[in-house]
Amino acid sequence: MSRGKFITFEGCDGCGKSTQLKTWSEYLTAQGIEHIFTREPGGGKISEAIREILLNGKNMEMTDECEALLYAAARAQHLADRVEPALSAGKLVICDRYVDSSFAYQAYGRGLSKEFVAKINAFALENYLPDATVFIDLTPEEAFARKHGADENDRLEKAGMAFHRRVYEGFDALAKAEPERFVRVNGKNTPQGIFEETLAKLQEKNCL
């Protein structure tokens, strides 16, 4: 049996990723394409427990290094628990955020070095680089205007607009650096328009 494809979705907070993933779930089920949906941080018992620590609004004193290491730890567990079993069973894996979020948020956003982020994520980068990464291109200014402000309880969304702007610039740079892996779609489009653009571009890459 051939290995399944691995597709990740990325973008700034509030870029419309969740809406897209719901549409993808309906589409793949209707097409009878064997798949799993998963998310980072999270996707299994241990990685969901790490997610709780990372996103808890009470953990404001967490250092940037600890944060980056916890994302990488959650990722290692998630790859073993969910991603590898599905890929080796020939299933398509759709993952809501992955290692590019660590570069965008922890390196570009928080200011950690890219070398440090690459080093602690080497396992993901060497063995589990996605076949395609969809970047829903919507600036944080546009995303936050749509959402009517940040969610008060979410530690990351408290980080402020300057932080989210750096994260956006990070995704933009990552997508430019790896155009063969990244699929950039226009986040200002309607949800249906975004879905159709993504579908066409993933088909072009033979990912579906």
Residues that bind ligand TYD (CB under 6 A): 13, 17-18, 40-41, 55, 71, 96-97, 101-102, 105-106, 156
Nearest distance, CB of residue 73 and ligand TYD, angstroms:
11
Nearest C-alpha neighbor of 174 from the set 94, 102, 98, 104: 104
Nearest distance, CB of residue 76 and ligand TYD, angstroms:
12
Nearest distance, CB of residue 82 and ligand TYD, angstroms:
14
Measure the CA–CA gap between 205 and 208, rounded to whole angstroms: 8
CB nearer to ligand TYD: give 30 or 129: 129
Instruction: Concatenate the DSSP letters of all residues of 22-34 into one string.
Output: HHHHHHHHHHT--
CB nearer to ligand TYD: give 90 or 160: 160
CB nearer to ligand TYD: give 72 or 202: 72
Residues forming a β-bridge with 137: 186
For residues 16-33, b (16+ Cβ closer than 10 Å) or e, as one string?
A: bbeebeebbeeebeeeee
Query: Which residue's C-beta sits nearest to ligand TYD?
Result: 105
